[in-house]
C-alpha cells in the first residue's frame, strides 16, 4: 500500500485517489497550443503511480516522449463532499511537490482519436511524490516558488500565484464530483517549461521552502 507522509510528525496516510488538474497555468497552455478551459480539467492517477525520493522513473516501452511537469501537491486530511470554497483549505493536511509525468506522444495520439489518455498519465512510476509539510506551516499556498531541474539545468521556474483556478475553487469543484477522503492527493497543475526526459537523467522538483523530490530515469 502506498502512503503519504506528513513531516516532521511522521504520520502516514494511505494514498487514495490522485486527482490532477490540467491547463491551470496560462503559459503552459500556450506552450502546448491548447485552449484555455472554462472549468478545471480533471484527470486521475492510481496510487500505484507513486514513487518516492531517490526512486526511479521507468518510461514504458510504448512511448518515446516522456515529459516532466512539476506541481504543488495537496494532501487531504479531512474528507468532504460539495465543499464550499470558503471552507476548502480546512480540508488540506499538508503541502508537497509532485512530478506529473506525461507520455506526450501517446497522449497526443489518443487525443486525436477522441480516446481517454490514462495510459499516458497513470502508468507505474508516473507520479514521483515528496513528503508533505503540515498546512499550518505554509503561510500562503498561492505564493510558492515551483522549480524543476534536469541534470542541474533549470527547466521549470514558476509560481503558484499564476494558477488560473486557485486551491479553494479546485477543491470545491473536485468535491462536487468526487467525495474527498483523507489520504487523497491533489495535483494543482504545472507552470510552463515542461519538456522531455531520457534514460540517465537526474530530476529534482521543489516547492521552495516546502518540499523537494529527487529521482532518476531508467
**What residues does each domain of the chain span?**
3-217
Q: Which of 30-39, 94-103, 150-159, 207-216 has the lowest mean pLDDT?
A: 30-39
Residue 182 has pLDDT above 80, yes or no: yes
Residues 44-49, mean pLDDT to the nearest whole number: 98
Lowest mean pLDDT among 7-11, 26-30, 126-130: 26-30
Is residue 3 within 8 Å of residue 14, measured between CB atoms?
Answer: yes
What is the overall mean pLDDT for the chain? 95
The stretch 169-174 carries a mean pLDDT of 97
Class of domain 3-217: alpha beta
pLDDT at 202 over 80: yes
pLDDT digits (tens, 9 = 90+) for 71-99: 999 999 999 999 999 999 999 999 999 99
- Higher pLDDT pick, 36 / 16: 16
Q: At residue 29, does pLDDT exceed 70?
A: no
Percent of the chain residues topping a pLDDT of 90 = 89
Amino acid at each position: 500500500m502506498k502512503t503519504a507522509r506528513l513531516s516532521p510528525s511522521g504520520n502516514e496516510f494511505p494514498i487514495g485517489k490522485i486527482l490532477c488538474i490540467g491547463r491551470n497555468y496560462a503559459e503552459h497552455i500556450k506552450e502546448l497550443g491548447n485552449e484555455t478551459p472554462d472549468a478545471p480539467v480533471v484527470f486521475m492517477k492510481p496510487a500505484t503511480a507513486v514513487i518516492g525520493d531517490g526512486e526511479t522513473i521507468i518510461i514504458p516501452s510504448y512511448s518515446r516522449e516522456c515529459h516532466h511537469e512539476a506541481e504543488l501537491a495537496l494532501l487531504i486530511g479531512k474528507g468532504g463532499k460539495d465543499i464550499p470554497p470558503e471552507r476548502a483549505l480546512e480540508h488540506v493536511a499538508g503541502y508537497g511537490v509532485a512530478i506529473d509525468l506525461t507520455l506526450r506522444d501517446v497522449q497526443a495520439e489518443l487525443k486525436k482519436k477522441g480516446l481517454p489518455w490514462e495510459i499516458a498519465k497513470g502508468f507505474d512510476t508516473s507520479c514521483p511524490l515528496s513528503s508533505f509539510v503540515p498546512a499550518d506551516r505554509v503561510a500562503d499556498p498561492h505564493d510558492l516558488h515551483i522549480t524543476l531541474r534536469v541534470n542541474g539545468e533549470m527547466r521549470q521556474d514558476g509560481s503558484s500565484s499564476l494558477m488560473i483556478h486557485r486551491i479553494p475553487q479546485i477543491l470545491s469543484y473536485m468535491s462536487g464530483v468526487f467525495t474527498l477522503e483523507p489520504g487523497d492527493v491533489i495535483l494543482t497543475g504545472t507552470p510552463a517549461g515542461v519538456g522531455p526526459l531520457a534514460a540517465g537523467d537526474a530530476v529534482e522538483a521543489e516547492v521552495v521552502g516546502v518540499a523537494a523530490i529527487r529521482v532518476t530515469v531508467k
